[in-house]
Structure 1
Amino acid sequence: MVSITLVLFERTGLLLVVAFMLTRIPTFRHLLDRELGLKTVIYHAAIFGAFGIVGAQAGIVFHDGEIASRFWVTTLERGETLIGSHLVAIVIAGLLGGSYVGLGAGCVTAVYFYFLSSDTVIADMLASVLTGLFAGLTARFFSNERVIAPAKALFIGMFAPIFHVCLLLAFTESPDQTVALVNTVGIPLVITNSVAIAIFTTMIRVALHEQEKETALETERALHITEQALPHLRQGLHRDTATKIARLLYDELKTAAAAVSISNTEHVLAHIGLGNDHHRPGESLKTRLSQKALKEKEMQIAYTPEHIQCQHNGCPLQAGIILPISQSGEIIGLIKLYYRRPQQIRKVDIVRAEGLAKLFSHQLDVVAAEEMKSLLREAEMRNLQAQINPHFLFNTLHLIQVLIRVDTSLARHITVQLGRFIRANLKSTSRLLIQLEQELEHFFAYLEIVKVRFSHRIAIEYDVDDRISDADIPPFTLQPLAENSLQHGLKRAKSGKLSIRVKKEGERIYFEIRDSGDGFPEHLLDRLGKIPLPSQKGNGIGLYNVNQRLVGMFGESAQLHFHNLPSGGCSVSFSIPIRHEHRDATSSSSSPG
């Protein structure tokens, strides 16, 4: 019994070698992912069926209870029985592929036993077919596992040979001879088959674990490289950033690549690694593969020194991968990974390099999109300022026109105030943010003009905290709000009051402009500042522009709030942070206009 067990283990070992080769088949993963179409079922049923035939051929032929030496079994004589490991393949087919694959593999193996024409043909055929079906049905209880655990496979694998020997006893024509055979091979068959099934499932789990681990490591490395390279990519592709990116790639890939080079569409920008004594930045791109990569926008692989086209004798770089990188659909440069020998360029290196080039290109696209978004946002801000400023200019010029006829002194005073404001305006229009102190000076200049224009009708009150200089605000924010109160809240009143309040509240500056006029129409309160409204409905365009700038700069927390006061009139308020993280660098050094 021991000798038979060892022989079966030896021959099962050969079977496991075939099984390991089976796991290398790319479509084998479809079984593990349960992606079973008709084509996949037929294909793998045939594969495992052939695997079962090999297992049968690797078995032992018994003749009258003795082992008969046979190299290739094509037919069996009377009194001969073939005992092999064909059920191993069928059980695995059912456990991995389900009942259809298991049944198909069992049928293929059964056809083989039919042509052997042995005394045990009925038992062998039934064992093959029913084992595949039962293994597939059993697999449903472990459908949540990608690969069944080896311990479970070991337990399930015991039943197939037991079922087989039961069928041998049931369909035998020579009971005494069959009982003797079962007593001889029963236990070795159960042991070798169950262990082989457990070993095979272990092989699959180990192979998948190693593959998934390698994939995870490569993915983590690629993401780490792109994350580290992003700050450099934001600065554009030039010699300094190219050197830093090349150094980053070389440090991460030096176990595989011997050197890293980065170039634009005309010249080499950086070269790190072997060959840096003659591969120098500034050299023009002359190699045929480089030009081909730029033209076709596809990866190129140099497998010979002739492809590298290095004119330096003894250059250690004998092969390389050339990867184009793009921005907004246009090729802007190349990444070259050099190797000492072409044999070092593995499939994983090609896939990793191609993935890095795509990630870099996507990062450059994101950078370009962010820059475009910033430019568009700045253009929108400029447009909003251009829409607001004419309100103040038109009203002031009209006031001067009136005052020239009645009071030249006041006209001269207002003209000076207007000149100061326009001069400050010219300084501020090139900035998205200015110091709050500067904005208040502009605003107070505006209110000086208002005092003259409405001196007999409107009183202006100030409540301004003197601790608010350390804050930034979009230019020309306060003036349109006050103008709205004057033109629409107090226009029809014989007398009224305009109150300006600026206070520090925690880490924010609070602004409020009140008037004692008619207030806003109730049906417009929830729409003001959110959508542009025609001017005859409450200066909605000017308020909308101010609100858009505040929200665009500081977020929703800085939006305008509109309220009608119980005592009459309305209130427009908002708040901004004391320190804004995107503060205009030039505004801090400018002086008030």
Structure 2
Amino acid sequence: MLLVLMFGLTHIPLIRRVLDRPAKGWNGVLLAILFGLIGIAGTYAGVVVGKDAVTASFLAVPLGPSEMMAHSALVGVVLGGLLGGALIGAGAGAITGIHAAYMGGVASDSLGFSMPLLGLLAGLIARFFHEERIIAPPKSLFIGVFAPILQTGLVLVFTTSSPLSIVLVNEVGLPMVLTSSVGICLFVALVRAAFREEERAGALQMQRAFTIAEMVLPHLKEGMSEQAARATAAVLMRELEADAVGVTDRERLLAYRGPGYPDPAGFMAEPFAREALRTNRIQTLARKGQEPRLFNDLGAAVFVPLGGSGQPAGVLALYFRSAKQIRKIELEFASGFSRLIASQLTIMQAEQLEKMGRDAELRAMQAQIHPHFLFNTLNSIVTLIRIDPENARQLTVQLAQFMRSSLTMTQSSLIPLYREIEYLNAYLTIIRARFDDRLVVECVVEQGLEHVMLPPSTLQPLVENSVQHGLRSKSSGGWIRVELKREGDRVCAAVEDNGIGIPPDLRHALGEMPISGSGSTGLGIHNVNQRLKALLGADAALRFENLAGGGTRVSFTLLDDKGGHLADETDHSHRGRRTAG
């Protein structure tokens, strides 16, 4: 009978919540009272043992001076210590011991003392198994054997081993050891089974929610559009046992799957849907008795907010014909699904913000390159206006064409190499107009590399750096060589000149930060280097070296995707082309 009571207690939600929470404060008091009452129940279900007879009754009566009980009160006391800790065990033992002392009999004083002591000892022993949420049944059986043995020993101590007490202890000792130890073991097994059942159900629902969330998230990445909502509703209708599914944004019903179709305006007017949006919590609606149904004989609904950080982006409505269909398992799924969607949308929003910030930073770097080049070219035009107006006019026209092409090219973070070469040739046309025959620029591209991807305006600033700084002291005989060739699975790009080289004190900082002094800010080189690393990785960073015969070599490597990232353009006019200016 006691085990039936135990089984019922473990399936009462209130009792399970009390058992599941930490044994502190009021919850500790409730646990002590609970296990104390279990101990009292074990006392009342005992058997009265007298000098000449054994009496069994459904409820034990106060005992005479020559009587003792064979009972299972220790089950509640020891369980209190094993499941709640030393203080809970001592509290449950005190409640049970006071009741046992009130019952009277030969062992009344010893029971009033031994019950709290045994509860305290059980709690102290349980500390050795603190890593287990619920102690294992075999261990509890082992502990349960010693508790009644110690209790009967204390009975003999308190009664000074009188002949009557020895006789009675011999009568009740073995039955109490067996019933108490087995009862403790079985009750612990019941508690473990109850919690494992709950954990298994929760784990299955979380796994189910995770699987369905994986199906839904790809549709929600672009926001709460009608197309995304329809795809989401189709997945949920297929995977869930709901009678209908609706998906909304914050203003209107976007998609619905199921019998009939709700009035969109009426749906958003539903107070439970608005409450789910306002509080970001699951809301449950169930029509009872003669209350009007929702629509098409649907009488219950669960409104699940779909949101990341901040306010929910919409609501998922699961409709049922009856409130009986909304079981705890459905609510567990809705809760897990809502949390998963919220966390994943928050992560996606953070990734989008990070990408937007990175793109904005790259755009800012790109925007800084054009004014840098524009400033140098306009200076040349100002100089040519006085001495060669026709050449200045041609240079202005070429600059306008160059800037127009740059506006379209920089809309992408990566472009194919042949477009970068076209851009470089447009720049070289301007250089040719500025320097006549004083400078020769050679561009050599190995065949088959036309579609290797790189950031726009990568080669042009490197060539411009050679023109403006490396060759600034050369009045004639200057040359620049741009070469791209395949080296294994990489493409090596290099820009060489026969200029003055890089000062040793600047080489370590060049490309890593804008440089002041030496007539240069180093802004173009810095931006090129940062964009290469941001878009292609640290391995693509610029490398600087001075040539043995004088001059500078700036190089970097690109991944040879062998056509893996092809642009939409079909112009192959620079395949294997060598140009010179």
TM-score range, shorter chain: 0.7 to 0.9
Matched, 1:79 2:66: yes
- Describe how 1:396-545 pairs up with structure 2 within 5 A: 396-400=377-381, 402=383, 414=395, 417-418=398-399, 420-455=401-436, 457-494=438-475, 495-534=477-516, 536=518, 538-545=520-527
What's the counterpart of residue 197 of structure 1? 184
Distance 1:582 1:524, change over 3 A: farther
What's the counterpart of residue 349 of structure 1? 330
Letter in structure 2 aligned against 1:518: I
- Superposed CA deviations along residues 106-154 of structure 1, whole A, max 9, x for unmatched, are 2222222222232222332343233223323332333333322212222
- Superposed CA deviations along residues 234-267 of structure 1, whole A, max 9, x for unmatched, are 133223221221122223321xx22211123343
What's the counterpart of residue 48 of structure 1? 35
Distance 1:328 1:195, change over 3 A: closer
How far off is 1:340 after superposition?
Answer: 1.9
Letter in structure 2 aligned against 1:235: E
Distance in 1 of aligned mates of 2:267 and 2:123? 64
- Gap runs ≥5 in structure 1: 1-10
How far off is 1:289 after superposition?
Answer: 3.3
Letter in structure 2 aligned against 1:269: L
How far off is 1:161 after superposition?
Answer: 2.0
Distance 1:212 1:291, change over 3 A: closer
Matched, 1:138 2:128: no
Q: How many residues align?
A: 572
Aligned residue for 2:569, secondary structure, equals helix
Distance in 2 of aligned mates of 1:22 and 1:370? 45
What's the counterpart of residue 248 of structure 2? 263
Matched, 1:112 2:88: no
2:237 to 250, 264, 271: 250
- Gap runs ≥5 in structure 2: 575-581
Distance 1:40 1:266, change over 3 A: closer
Distance in 1 of aligned mates of 2:349 and 2:573? 35
Aligned residue for 2:255, secondary structure, equals strand
How far off is 1:297 after superposition?
Answer: 5.0
Aligned residue for 2:16, secondary structure, equals coil
- Between stretches 257-266 and 433-442, larger displacement belongs to 257-266
What's the counterpart of residue 220 of structure 2? 233
1:382 to 359, 363, 374: 363
Aligned residue for 1:509, secondary structure, equals strand
Matched, 1:319 2:300: yes
1:26 to 17, 28, 45: 17
2:23/2:31 contact within 8 Å kept? no
How far off is 1:415 after superposition?
Answer: 5.6
Distance in 2 of aligned mates of 1:367 and 1:25? 37
What's the counterpart of residue 186 of structure 1? 173
1:574 to 553, 556, 566: 556
Distance in 1 of aligned mates of 2:96 and 2:465? 91
- Superposed CA deviations along residues 282-312 of structure 1, whole A, max 9, x for unmatched, are 9864434334444565543211079996575
1:148/1:201 contact within 8 Å kept? yes
Matched, 1:96 2:72: no
Distance in 1 of aligned mates of 2:125 and 2:274? 59
- Describe how 1:140-179 pairs up with structure 2 within 5 A: 140-172=127-159, 175-179=162-166
How far off is 1:454 after superposition?
Answer: 3.8
What's the counterpart of residue 304 of structure 1? 287
Distance in 2 of aligned mates of 1:292 and 1:143? 42
Letter in structure 1 aligned against 2:142: F
Distance 1:19 1:354, change over 3 A: closer
How far off is 1:414 after superposition?
Answer: 4.8
2:10/2:16 contact within 8 Å kept? no
1:470/1:578 contact within 8 Å kept? no
- Between stretches 471-480 and 134-143, larger displacement belongs to 134-143
How far off is 1:197 after superposition?
Answer: 1.0
Aligned residue for 2:224, secondary structure, equals coil
What's the counterpart of residue 320 of structure 2? 339
Distance 1:296 1:96, change over 3 A: closer
2:233/2:256 contact within 8 Å kept? yes
1:287/1:309 contact within 8 Å kept? no
Distance 1:47 1:460, change over 3 A: same
Distance 1:581 1:148, change over 3 A: farther
Distance in 2 of aligned mates of 1:395 and 1:426? 19
Aligned residue for 1:501, secondary structure, equals strand
How far off is 1:93 after superposition?
Answer: 2.0
Aligned residue for 1:380, secondary structure, equals helix
Distance in 2 of aligned mates of 1:435 and 1:13? 77
Give TM-score scaled by structure 2 length.
0.87
Percent identity, aligned pairs only, is 37
What's the counterpart of residue 5 of structure 1? none
How far off is 1:40 after superposition?
Answer: 5.0
CA RMSD of aligned residues (A): 3.4
Distance 1:22 1:63, change over 3 A: farther
Distance in 1 of aligned mates of 2:3 and 2:472? 100
Distance 1:372 1:20, change over 3 A: closer
How far off is 1:59 after superposition?
Answer: 0.9
Matched, 1:213 2:200: yes
Aligned residue for 1:527, secondary structure, equals coil
Letter in structure 2 aligned against 1:28: L
- Superposed CA deviations along residues 384-437 of structure 1, whole A, max 9, x for unmatched, are 232212333343344455556666776676566445433422431333332211
2:49/2:172 contact within 8 Å kept? no
Letter in structure 1 aligned against 2:273: S
Aligned residue for 2:499, secondary structure, equals coil
Matched, 1:555 2:537: yes
What's the counterpart of residue 273 of structure 2? 290
2:306/2:342 contact within 8 Å kept? yes
Aligned residue for 1:26, secondary structure, equals helix
1:266/1:284 contact within 8 Å kept? no
Distance in 2 of aligned mates of 1:575 and 1:192? 80
Distance 1:107 1:309, change over 3 A: closer
Distance in 2 of aligned mates of 1:291 and 1:549? 46
Distance 1:371 1:100, change over 3 A: closer
1:436/1:473 contact within 8 Å kept? yes
What's the counterpart of residue 578 of structure 2? none
Distance in 2 of aligned mates of 1:536 and 1:582? 42
Distance in 2 of aligned mates of 1:38 and 1:284? 45
Aligned residue for 2:550, secondary structure, equals coil
Distance 1:411 1:143, change over 3 A: closer
Aligned residue for 1:148, secondary structure, equals coil
Aligned residue for 1:244, secondary structure, equals helix
What's the counterpart of residue 66 of structure 1? 53
